[in-house]
């Protein structure tokens, strides 16, 4: 096996780079051109691997929930996914639900998670520096 030209990029690294972009700039705010630039992966290769922009977004969201949700207090991606996409994309909504369950479990109480989410929103109104 292993026929054909070998892949010239690390799929997981590309997903991680995409996640960073989606978390900072939202789904609609991130263009495929942006994703190509940030990941360094060719457009066609991204489409071969992930099928669509939405496919890459879902991969990035899952990567984030699985790997980076515990770390630090960075809830930005989760917040954005919930507010921007959950209402119009069932799969996103279910990832959001899964993330919240994970946070509840990690925090011990549901109220701790709820407060953390609310505080994150509160922060977003605070000390600003444009992008």
Partner DNA sequence: CTTATTTAAGAACGATTGTTCTTGACTGAT
Partner DNA sequence: ATCAGTCAAGAACAATCGTTCTTAAATAAG
Q: What does the binding site for DNA look like in residue numbers (CB under 7 A)?
A: 1-9, 28, 30-34, 41-45, 47-48, 52-54
Could you tell me the two tokens for 118?
């609310």
Close Cβ partners of 80 (under 8 Å, ≥ 6 residues apart): 22, 23, 26, 27
Least gap, CB of 19 to DNA (angstroms): 15
Could you tell me the two tokens for 62?
């899952």
Instruction: Confirm or reject binding of residue 108 to a second copy (CB under 8 A).
Output: no
Q: How far apart are the first and last CA of the chain?
A: 46
Instruction: Confirm or reject binding of residue 53 to a second copy (CB under 8 A).
Output: no
Could you tell me the two tokens for 45?
């290769």
- 70, 106 Cβ separation under 8 angstroms: yes
Binding mask 4-43 for a second copy (x = CB under 8 A): --------------------xxx-xx--------------
Alpha helices in 51-129 (DSSP H): 53-63, 76-80, 90-107, 110-124
Find the binding residues for a second copy in span 56-85 (CB under 8 A): 76, 78-80, 82-84
1's contact among a second copy, DNA, none, with CB below 5 to 8 A by partner kind, is DNA
Under the rule (CB under 8 A), what is the footprint of a second copy?
24-26, 28-29, 76, 78-80, 82-84, 86-90, 93-94, 96-100, 111, 113-119, 121-122, 124-126, 128, 130-131
């Amino acid at each position: 096996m292993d026929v054909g030209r070998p892949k010239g990029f690390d799929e997981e690294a590309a997903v991680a780079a995409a996640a960073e972009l989606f978390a900072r700039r939202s789904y609609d705010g991130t263009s495929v051109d942006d994703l190509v630039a940030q990941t360094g992966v060719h457009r066609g290769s991204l489409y071969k691997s992930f099928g669509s922009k939405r496919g890459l977004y879902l991969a990035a969201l899952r990567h984030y929930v699985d790997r980076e949700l515990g770390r630090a207090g960075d809830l930005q991606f989760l917040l954005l996914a919930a507010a921007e996409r959950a209402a119009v994309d069932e799969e996103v909504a279910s990832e959001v639900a899964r993330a919240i369950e994970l946070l509840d479990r990690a925090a011990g109480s549901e109220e701790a998670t709820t407060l953390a989410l609310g505080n994150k929103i509160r922060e977003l109104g605070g000390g600003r520096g444009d992008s």
